[in-house]
A and B are shown apart, each in its own frame.
Chain A
Amino acid sequence: MPLMFEKPLGMVDTLPALYDRASEIRHNIEQETGRWGYRAIQTPSLEYYETVGEASAIHDQQLFKLLDREGQTLVLRPDMTAPIARVVSSSMKNEPLPLRLSYCNALYRSQQKEGGVRAEFEQFGVELVGDASMNADGEVIALLTSTLRAAGLSAFRLAVGHVKYMNALFKENVSQETANVLRRYLYEKNYVSYRQYVDQLQLSAEAKNRLKHLQRLRGGPEVLPEAKKITDNREAHEALAEIEDLWEILEDLGVSESLQVDLNLVLHIDYYTGVVFEGYGDSLGFPLASGGRYDELLGKFGRPASATGFGIRLDWLLEALNHFEGETLVRHSTLILFSKERQREAVQEANKRRQNGEAIIMQNRAGVPDVAAFAEKYKEVISFAGETDDE
């Protein structure tokens, strides 16, 4: 039996100082995405495993599952993209596309590793559904940078890749099975095994060089002509043309300086279908945000449409930000201490101040065991104590 004060593995409490800081950031972010025309929605914490659970990009073993009274398997939502796809295809099916939606919700992913790893965390994100143009990818990336800036993060970078370029390069040189192995190595960030695997393939030296050259395609837009040289495949060239287009859009939007092209970027084995990106902040070891184009998901819910979006881990963003500012924000409120005889006077004063937007704590002296110790915590203390009191 767990101890009385214990929480399930991976769950945390949020105390007032952190809560205030988090809501301030959330507010800033939502204002910013609101200015870009994104409307927030909320969906239930529980979804059906067979629909949203299966469509989600999160691995099965990371899902929290339970049974409802009819014996249907439910999941605690592991991401918001699949629920939003469900909503767009059902409750919002008559809304014309493109749709611009945002969300800020707790997500649940069970962890196999250490106890402290978060199994419930808040994510903020946007989805732009129904616009297949590069401007949609550009808008989502630009919005991510301005959102991070609005949250107060100054030093960050985004890496941008394209799933189709890599897939085309693999298809041109190796079998589907080999391509799957190579993609998995890149997904696992295991570049050593990627090269070793290429080395032992039965391929021409040129083909091996092309596959190994992929690893060097990382940096500014100057890698794009280089990427073009190692393949004649039409789809690969189309993907590169898309990135060029995207780059131009992002330059026009004024956000290209924190970007880096990385054609090795694999964020998920088979979920994304086009441009993908990941965001990193200084002072934090984990990527803060990620996203990309997923044109096949909406079809699973019966309303085929292209879509792109991003998600930001709010807990990690908060950590990255606190490191910058050095301290957490403390809200100061004013304390009105009163005794029973002067209660009415105290209430009048409190109402007056509250109407002016001040935070007022009203405290009957009789309810506090140690008035001095209690009052010490407040910047301003106003006393309405009876005549007999020695105030």
Chain B
Amino acid sequence: MSEDWITFAMPKGRIFEEAAHLLRQAGYPLQEDFSAGRKLIVEAPEANMKFFLAKPMDVPTYVEHGVADIGVAGKDVLMEERRDVYEVLDLAISACHLAVAGLPHRRKGRIAPKIATKYPNIATQYFKEQGEQVEVIRLSGSIELAPLIGLAERIVDIVSTGKTLKENGLAELETIDHVTSRLIVNPVSYRMKDRQIDEIVQRLSVIVEEGRSRHEDHTG
């Protein structure tokens, strides 16, 4: 089965571009413009690869069910979804972190402060570990709005530059975890297409390592 296609589930947008760039650097021939337009499925026959574009939060689901062999997903999504997939490589792209944020002088005295978030599982788990009783409210976007209009005292969200928080008068209070994009693999594909997948992982990890040491040269 060495001639099998490898199917990738990819998040739309910038992460897709960055991941495609890594694959190109790793020597897989993907055309430059191939995510242009509105097609949801694109093929790279020269590389025996097929890509479909999905909502970032759904990528682990596609991979768990085996409709994609490989996926690129943020660590935040993996922590939230807890799907049964192999997490094989830190691609070190789209770095950001998960944080608790809120108004700098928040009102106290609630029995269970309210936390608004897109990540109810992560938030519940985090506050449980802190021994703090909270009420988690799930929102699907514009999380920063919640403390401003009084829906919640604090939020749990990903922060990259902190600009959105600052513009809305919010401050980062605690860091939960660092987030980068990860390469994930379906447990059956990991075995049945092991030779192809091992090679992709191997070639990508070399590129990621190079990028990391170059970055360290610059900073250190």
Query: Does the CB pair A285–B186 fall under 8 Å?
Result: yes
Residue of B1, B65, B194 near A285 (CB, 8 A) is B65
CB under 8 Å from chain B, chain A span 153-186 = 155, 157, 159
User: B206 an interface residue at 8 Å Cβ cutoff?
Assistant: no
Query: Does the CB pair A192–B89 fall under 8 Å?
Result: yes
CA distance A191 to B90 in the complex (A): 9
User: A281 an interface residue at 8 Å Cβ cutoff?
Assistant: yes
User: A152 an interface residue at 8 Å Cβ cutoff?
Assistant: no
Task: Please name all residues of chain B whose beta carbon is closer than 8 Å to the beta carbon of A192 when the two chains form the complex.
Answer: 87-90, 182
Task: Please name all residues of chain A whose beta carbon is closer than 8 Å to the beta carbon of B192 when the two chains form the complex.
Answer: 155, 157, 280, 282
Among A155, A191, A196, A282, the one with the most B-chain Cβ atoms within 10 Å of its Cβ is A191
Task: Please name all residues of chain A whose beta carbon is closer than 8 Å to the beta carbon of B189 when the two chains form the complex.
Answer: 285
User: B44 an interface residue at 8 Å Cβ cutoff?
Assistant: no
User: A190 an interface residue at 8 Å Cβ cutoff?
Assistant: yes
Task: Please name all residues of chain A whose beta carbon is closer than 8 Å to the beta carbon of B87 when the two chains form the complex.
Answer: 189-193
Task: Please name all residues of chain A whose beta carbon is closer than 8 Å to the beta carbon of B90 when the two chains form the complex.
Answer: 192, 196
Task: Please name all residues of chain B whose beta carbon is closer than 8 Å to the beta carbon of A371 when the two chains form the complex.
Answer: none
Residue of A155, A260, A280, A282 near B187 (CB, 8 A) is A280
Query: Does the CB pair B194–A260 fall under 8 Å?
Result: yes
Q: How far is the CB of A281 from chain B (nearest CB, A)?
A: 7
Task: Please name all residues of chain A whose beta carbon is closer than 8 Å to the beta carbon of B84 when the two chains form the complex.
Answer: 189
Among A159, A260, A285, the one with the most B-chain Cβ atoms within 10 Å of its Cβ is A285
In the complex, the number of residue pairs spanning A and B with C-beta atoms less than 8 Å apart equals 47
Task: Name which residue of chain A comes closest to B185, CB basis.
Answer: A189
User: B67 an interface residue at 8 Å Cβ cutoff?
Assistant: yes
Query: Does the CB pair A280–B86 fall under 8 Å?
Result: no
Query: Does the CB pair A191–B66 fall under 8 Å?
Result: no
Residue of B1, B64, B86, B188 near A191 (CB, 8 A) is B86
Q: How far is the CB of A258 from chain B (nearest CB, A)?
A: 10
Query: Does the CB pair A286–B66 fall under 8 Å?
Result: yes
Query: Does the CB pair A285–B66 fall under 8 Å?
Result: yes
Q: How far is the CB of B163 from chain A (nearest CB, A)?
A: 28
Q: How far is the CB of A175 from chain B (nearest CB, A)?
A: 22
Task: Name which residue of chain B comes closest to A193, CB basis.
Answer: B87
Given contacts A192-B182, A280-B192, contact A286 B88 (CB under 8 A): no
Given contacts A189-B87, A192-B87, contact A280 B188 (CB under 8 A): yes
CB under 8 Å from chain A, chain B span 60-96 = 64-67, 84-90
B-contact bits for A20-46, CB 8 A (1 contact / 0 none): 000000000000000000000000000
B-contact bits for A252-271, CB 8 A (1 contact / 0 none): 00000000100000000000
Q: How far is the CB of A17 from chain B (nearest CB, A)?
A: 24
CB under 8 Å from chain B, chain A span 206-258 = 218
CB under 8 Å from chain A, chain B span 134-161 = none
Task: Please name all residues of chain B whose beta carbon is closer than 8 Å to the beta carbon of A10 when the two chains form the complex.
Answer: none
User: B21 an interface residue at 8 Å Cβ cutoff?
Assistant: no
Query: Does the CB pair A285–B188 fall under 8 Å?
Result: yes
Given contacts A189-B84, A285-B64, contact A280 B89 (CB under 8 A): no
Given contacts A189-B84, A189-B85, A191-B88, contact A280 B66 (CB under 8 A): no
User: B214 an interface residue at 8 Å Cβ cutoff?
Assistant: no
Query: Does the CB pair A284–B86 fall under 8 Å?
Result: no
Residue of A189, A190, A218, A287 near B188 (CB, 8 A) is A287
Query: Does the CB pair A189–B187 fall under 8 Å?
Result: yes
CA distance A159 to B189 in the complex (A): 12
Known: A285-B65, A285-B189; 5 extra A-B contacts, CB below 8 A, are A192-B88, A280-B191, A282-B1, A284-B66, A285-B64
A–B Cβ pairs within 8 angstroms, 19 of them: A155-B192, A157-B191, A159-B191, A189-B87, A191-B86, A191-B88, A192-B87, A192-B88, A196-B90, A280-B188, A281-B188, A282-B1, A284-B66, A284-B188, A285-B65, A285-B67, A285-B186, A285-B187, A286-B188
